[in-house]
Amino acid sequence: MTAPKKKVLLAPLDPVHDIGLKMVRQALDRAGHTTLLLPPDYTAEEIISTALEQEAQYVLISRTLGYGIAELLGRFIDLADAAGLRERAKLIIGGMAIRPELAAELGFDAGFGPGTDVEEAVAYIEDRPYQADKRRITKTKRDFTQDFSYTYRNRRVAELLDRITELIFGWAADKTSPGVRRAHTRRELFASHRAFDSGKLGGAQYESELAALRAQYCQDSDEIIRRYYSDGTLPKKTRRLTAEELTALQKTVADVQERFLPRRIQSKPGQPLVFVQYGTGCPFMDIAHIKTSEAWGADGILHFDPSWGARTEGLLEGYIAHEEDGSILTPENLQQIGAARDEATLWTVRAHRGLNTPETVVLAGEAGADLTKINIVYGSLGAGTNPERLTVDGLEAIRLAVEYGLPYDIPTNEELCGVPAYKAFAGMLIVAHLGLKLGGRPILKPLFCYSPEVMLNNRMDDNYIDYNAAKIAALQSIADIPVWPGEPIGFLTHSEDRVQSSLTTALHASLAASLRVPAISIASSDEAYSGGPITAPARIDTLRATQDAFRFFGSAAIRPTEQAEKWADELAERIEATLAQVIAAGGFIEAIYAGVLGSREDGAYPGRTGKDTVVPRGK
C-alpha cells in the first residue's frame, strides 16, 4: 500500500550548513511528498510562522555544533509550543551535534545524528519501520588465493627451493613425534564423535573407543594435560565457563545476529581485505570483539592462543577461559567462536610455532576455519621450538592443511628478533615451497613495519614507504604467490596515543593498497601498549581510520621512490644467495643451526622445547 503523501517543511537553523536537509528533501521529493526548504537565514519565529502558514505536517530542523545549542533548540521548542505548532506537526531535529537522547530531552519528537541514513528519515515521515538496505552492505567470503597461479618468475630460486625441499622430505620421511601422533589421535576422536552422532556407533562402543583414544592421547601429552583428562585438574589461571554463561553467550549472539549490519572498509575493488587479531583469553570476550570488528567492516579474524600452549604437549577440551592474553585452543572454544562469526568473515587459527602445530590444524579444519598459519623457521628461531621437532611437525601440519583445504600463511616474525628480511624471506619461501610440493596454497606474510633490522641499517630514516614497498616487490618478483603484509602492519610505529596509532595504521594500510596486496592485518589503537584487555573503541579506531584512508586514496596510490626498486633487487639477490647457502650447509636443519636463516648475532636462537622427541616412525 502506498504511504499517504505528507507536507514537510525543512529549515536549517544554521547560517551555513544545509546539505543534510537537501539530501532528505531530494529523497522526499522522489517519494512524492510536498516539501519546502527554507533559506538558512530564517529565525526561529519565521520558521514557525511559515510552518503554520503552509500547514506542514512535519518540520525538520538541522543544526551543526555550536555554543549554546541546547538553549537555542530549547527556545525553538518553547516558541513552537506557544504558537500551537506542536499540536499540528511533528518536530524533528538532525545534525552532527544531535543524539536521540538530546532530542527527546529538548522536546523534539525525533532526533537524527551522525551516520543517519536518509532513508531512515523518510521512513519516519511515512510512519513505517526503517529497513536498512542490506543489499548495500552484503559481504561475501572471498578466497583470495584463487587469484594467484603459484608459479615462479625467478627460475633460479625455484630450482634452489626444489633441492632444499627434496632434502627436507628425505630427512623427515621416516620420522614422527608426539605432536604428529596426537594430531592423528585427535582426528580419530572427531571421527568417533561423528559416528556416534550419526547413529553408526552405539553408546557402549562409543565410550569404550573414547576411553582408548584418550588413553593413547595422554601417552603423548605432558603431565599437566594428563591430569586434566584423568581428574579434571585445570592449568593455573584457567577456569571452565558455566552453563549459565554459555546460555547467556548464545542468547547474546542470537540477539546481535538478528540486527547485525556490517560495514564495508574498502571503497574500491582491489583494496585489501582487512584482518584483526583476537585472543582475550575468554571466548565470550573474543566473540564480543569479533562482532564489534565485523560490524565496523573487518573481513577476517585471527585466533591467538597463549604462548604456554606452544610449549606444552597436548591440548585441553571444554569451554575454558584464561586470565591472561591468548585464548585456549579447545574444540569447544573454537566451535563457539566459529558459530558466532558472520558467514562472510574469513577465520584463521594459527598453528605455526609450537608443540601442537599439527593438532591445531586438525582443530582448525574440524571447526570450519578458512586458513591457518605455519612457519617452521620462525618457530625454530624466534619461538623456542626445537628445529628438528618443528620440521617434522610443520611438514605434517602442511599435509593436514592440504587435506582440510586450508591455505596457510607464513609470518616472518623472526624479523622482530632482528633477523634481516632476506634471511627471513628465504625461510618463508622454503616453507611455502614445501606446501606447493604437497598441493597446498601458501601465503607469504612479511612484516610491514618499523622492524629492528631497519632500526640498525637506517633504511627507514627518510620514510617508511620505500623499504616496505621493496619487501613486497622482491617477493612478487620471485613468484606469483599471495603476499599478505602483517602482523600487524605498522608495528613499532604505534604509541600509547590512540590517534597516532590509528594514523600510522591507516598510512601503512594505504601503502599496502597501493602495492595491490590481497590482505592486511591491523592492530587496535591500544594493542601495542595496552596493559590489559584491548578495548572495543580502540578496535573501531583503526578500522575507521583504515576505511577513511581507503576512501581518501580510492584508485590513487602512494608511489615509492627509485630507492625502493634498488632495495627490491638487492633483497631478491640476497634471498637467492641465502638459499644457496642452505644447500651448502648440508640441509635445512643444518642451515638453521649454522645461522644461515638467522644467527645469534641477528637475535635468533635455535629453540630447545621438544628437543629429542623426534623418533623413527613405528616407535
For the domain that residue 69 is a member of, what is the CATH number?
A: 3.40.50.280
Is 59 found in the same domain as 168?
no
Owning domain of residue 312: 146-582+588-594
Is 121 found in the same domain as 157?
no
Q: Write phi, then psi, for 67 (nearest 5 degrees).
A: -70, 140
Is 151 found in the same domain as 101?
no
Rounded CA Rg of the chain: 29
562-584 vs 421-437: helix axis angle to the nearest 10?
A: 60
Domain count, the chain: 2
Is 282 found in the same domain as 150?
yes
Positions of the chain with pLDDT under 70: 1-3, 15-17, 65-67, 132-137, 528-533, 619
Per the domain annotation, does 609 fall within a domain? no
Is 114 found in the same domain as 254?
no
Q: What was the pLDDT predicted at 141?
A: 92
One-letter identity of residue 360:
T
Q: What was the pLDDT predicted at 182?
A: 98
178-197 vs 357-367: helix axis angle to the nearest 10?
A: 20
Is 32 found in the same domain as 174?
no
Residue 50 host element (H or E): helix 44-54
Per the domain annotation, does 489 fall within a domain? yes
> How far is residue 592's CA from residue 65's CA, in Å, rounded to a whole number?
62
Per the domain annotation, does 618 fall within a domain? no
Distances in whole angstroms, Cα of residue 175 to Cα of each of 172, 437, 500: 5, 19, 50
Task: Look up residue 139 and give its three cell numbers.
Answer: 559481504
Per the domain annotation, does 603 fall within a domain? no
Is 259 found in the same domain as 366?
yes
> How far is residue 17's CA from residue 95's CA, in Å, rounded to a whole number?
9
- Give the model confidence (pLDDT) of 418-455 as tens digits: 999 999 999 999 999 999 999 999 999 999 999 888 88
- Give the model confidence (pLDDT) of 368-378 as tens digits: 999 999 999 99
Per the domain annotation, does 457 fall within a domain? yes
Per the domain annotation, does 141 fall within a domain? no
Of the candidates 131, 158, 185, which is a domain's last residue?
131
Is 222 found in the same domain as 285?
yes
DSSP class of residue 359?
Answer: H
Q: What was the pLDDT predicted at 135?
A: 44
Is 534 found in the same domain as 459?
yes
Show the CA angle centred on residue 333, arms to residues 331 and 339, nearest 5°.
95
For the domain that residue 284 is a member of, what is the CATH number?
A: 3.20.20.440
Per the domain annotation, does 401 fall within a domain? yes
